[in-house]
Amino acid sequence: MLEELRKNQEELAKRVILKDKYFINDIKYVAGVDQSFAGEKIISACVLLDFPSLKPLRGKTTIEKVNFPYIPTFLMFREGMPAVRAVQSLTNDYRNEKIVIMVDGSGIAHPRRCGLACYVAIKTGYPAIGITKKRLFGEVREPKKEFENQPLMDGDELIGYAMKTCKRCKPIYISPGSHITVETSLLLTEMCLKGYKLPEPVRIAHNLATEAKKKYLS
């Protein structure tokens, strides 16, 4: 089964476009996606923020049954469609707007160049950026100073950046999903920081998913 899934990811990776779909000054909204698990349920949270003010505008959570086991580097098959449906539900009234999505998951910094952010970007058509708290793939010299970033490499290829976003926190790892460049992914992430480890779209989505899980379990 895993070999078939690998081929699926490799085919999807061929559809990744590392070009900016929008000029950064034309971006009107940024969305964040995060997910939480409660037993056999997956809770997907999506939030929409005005850009560049980062004012939260709306949030949405969905709850679905988990239908795929946890297998590292194959999370798109477990979390992908629930994340896509949460994004589509939230952005339904904004179809013609220029939106960039930040996903709690890898972009091309993935062994087969096809992390969750790639899946979300390809399925929704929106540019997406992958943000992770742990390095899944690639080599990097860890940044030591606040706001320092270091290139995340696969051999000679730049696939993302590690960035120390606050003085006492460990770095986050940033990589494009699709419809956006590595450089713009870094710049947009920097513009979405407000003193916390995670950029605001992902941080607020994480908080929303956590609250939704508490309510579901109570």
Give how far Cα 121 sits from Cα of 106, 107, 142, 151, Å. Answer: 12, 9, 27, 22
Q: Can you tell me the mean pLDDT for 127-133? A: 98
| Exposure class string for 6-32: b at 16+ Cβ within 10 A, else e | eeebeebbeebebebbbeeeebebbbb
Asked if residue 95 has pLDDT above 90, the reply is no
Average pLDDT of 106-124? 97
**Mean pLDDT on 85-107:** 95
Each domain of the chain, given as residue ranges in start order, spans: 2-138+174-217
Please check the confidence at residue 187 and state whether its pLDDT lies above 90. Answer: yes
Q: Which residue shows structure tokens 């480890």? A: 197
When pLDDT is averaged across residues 129-137 and rounded to a whole number, the result is 97
Per-residue confidence band for 121, with pLDDT thresholds at 50, 70 and 90: very high
pLDDT tops 90 at residue 218: no
pLDDT band, very low/low/confident/very high, at 22 (cuts 50, 70, 90): very high
C-alpha angle 65-175-6 in degrees, rounded to nearest 5: 55
What CATH number was assigned to the domain covering residues 2-138+174-217? 3.30.2170.10
**SS3 at position 119:** helix
Tell me what pLDDT residue 59 has. 97
Beta bridge partners of 194: none
Q: Which two tokens stand for residue 146?
A: 């606040």
Q: Considering the entire predicted model, what is its pTM?
A: 0.97
Residue 86's pLDDT is what? 96
The mean of the pLDDT values for the chain is 96
Residues 178, 38: Cα–Cα separation, whole Å: 30
What percentage of residues in the chain have a pLDDT greater than 90? 95
113 — pLDDT class (breaks 50, 70, 90):
very high
